[in-house]
Chains A and B, each alone.
Chain A
Amino acid sequence: MNLNYTEEELAFRDEVRAFLDKKLPADIAAKVKGFRRLSKEDHQRWQKILSEQGWYATHWPVEHGGVEWSPVQKHIWDEESSRYGVPRSIPFGVNMVAPVIIRFGNEEQKQTYLPRILSGEDWWCQGYSEPGAGSDLASLKTRAVREGDHYIVNGQKTWTTLGQHANMIFCLVRTNTEVKAQEGISFLLIDMDTPGITVRPIITLEGEHEVNEVFFEDVKVPVENLVGEEDKGWTYAKYLLTYERTGLAGIGLSKAALSHLKELASRRLKNGRPLLEDPTFSQRIAEVEIDLTAAGISNLRIIASVEGGGVPGAESSMLKVKGTEIRQAINDLARRAIGPYALPFVEEELELDYDGEFLSDENAAPLSAQYFNNRKLSIFGGSNEIQKNIVSKMILGL
Chain B
Amino acid sequence: MDFRLNEEQQMLQDTVARLVRGEYSFEKRLEFSETEAGFSVDFWKQLGELGLTAVPFSEELGGFDGGGVEVQSVMTELGRGLCLEPYLQSVIFAGGLINQAGNDTQKDTWLAGIASGELQAAVALQEPQSFYDLKDVETRAEKNDSGYVLNGRKAVVIGGHCADLILVSARTSEAADGISLFVLTPDTAGLERRVYPTIDGSKGCDITLTDVQVSAEALVGQQDGAAEVIEYQAGRAIAALCAEAVGAMEAANELTLDYLKQRKQFGVPIGRFQVLQHRMVDMMSELEQARSMSILAASVADEEQSDERRRILAAAKNVIGRSGQFISEQGIQSHGGIGMTWEYNFAHYAKRLIMINHQLGDDDFHLEHYASLLQAS
Using a CB–CB cutoff of 8 Å, the interface residues on chain A facing chain B are: 129, 132-136, 139, 158-159, 202-207, 211, 268-272, 280-281, 284, 335-336, 339-346, 359-360, 368-369, 371-373, 375-376, 378-380, 383-385, 388
CA distance A211 to B347 in the complex (A): 16
Q: Which residue of A lies closest to B266 (CB)?
A: A136
Q: Which residue of A lies closest to B202 (CB)?
A: A343
Which A residues are in CB contact (< 8 Å) with B327?
none
CA distance A270 to B265 in the complex (A): 47
CA distance A252 to B158 in the complex (A): 37
Which B residues are in CB contact (< 8 Å) with A378?
333
**Are A343 and B200 touching (Cβ within 8 A)?**
yes
Range of interface residues on chain B?
35 or more
Known: A136-B266, A205-B342, A205-B347. A272 touches B199 (CB 8 A): no
**Are B337 and A376 touching (Cβ within 8 A)?**
yes
**Are A345 and B333 touching (Cβ within 8 A)?**
no
Q: Which residue of A lies closest to B329 (CB)?
A: A375
Which B residues are in CB contact (< 8 Å) with A385?
273, 275-276
Which A residues are in CB contact (< 8 Å) with B343?
202-203
Is B206's CB within 8 Å of the partner chain A? yes
Q: Which of B276, B358, B367 contacts A342 (CB 8 A)?
A: B358
The residue in A205, A346, A373, A384 that gathers the most chain B C-beta atoms within 10 A of its C-beta is A205
**Are B156 and A344 touching (Cβ within 8 A)?**
yes
How far apart are A282's CB and chain B's nearest CB, in angstroms?
Answer: 12
Question: 17 A-B Cβ contacts within 8 A?
Answer: A134-B336, A136-B266, A139-B265, A202-B341, A204-B347, A269-B131, A341-B156, A343-B204, A344-B199, A345-B198, A372-B199, A372-B340, A372-B350, A375-B332, A375-B340, A379-B333, A385-B273
CA distance A342 to B354 in the complex (A): 9
CA distance A222 to B214 in the complex (A): 77
Q: Which of B136, B196, B329, B339 contacts A344 (CB 8 A)?
A: B196
**Are B199 and A204 touching (Cβ within 8 A)?**
no
Is B129's CB within 8 Å of the partner chain A? yes
**Are B341 and A345 touching (Cβ within 8 A)?**
no
Known: A272-B136, A375-B333. A344 touches B129 (CB 8 A): no
Which A residues are in CB contact (< 8 Å) with B49?
none
Is B59's CB within 8 Å of the partner chain A? no
Which A residues are in CB contact (< 8 Å) with B337?
129, 134, 158-159, 211, 376, 379-380
CA distance A341 to B198 in the complex (A): 9
Which A residues are in CB contact (< 8 Å) with B12?
none
Chain A interface main SS type: mixed
Which B residues are in CB contact (< 8 Å) with A342?
199, 354-355, 358
Question: Knowing that A203-B342, A368-B355 are A-B contacts, what are 20 other residue pairs whose CB atoms are under 8 Å apart, sorted by A's residue number?
Answer: A129-B337, A133-B265, A134-B265, A134-B337, A135-B266, A202-B341, A268-B131, A335-B354, A339-B362, A340-B132, A340-B156, A341-B155, A343-B200, A343-B204, A344-B198, A345-B196, A345-B198, A375-B329, A383-B333, A383-B336
Q: Which of A204, A270, A368, A369 contacts B131 (CB 8 A)?
A: A270
CA distance A368 to B339 in the complex (A): 17
**Are B355 and A343 touching (Cβ within 8 A)?**
yes
How far apart are A21's CB and chain B's nearest CB, in angstroms?
Answer: 36
CA distance A14 to B339 in the complex (A): 43
**Are A343 and B265 touching (Cβ within 8 A)?**
no
How far apart are B117's CB and chain A's nearest CB, in angstroms?
Answer: 24
Is B18's CB within 8 Å of the partner chain A? no
Known: A344-B204, A345-B199, A378-B333. A204 touches B129 (CB 8 A): no
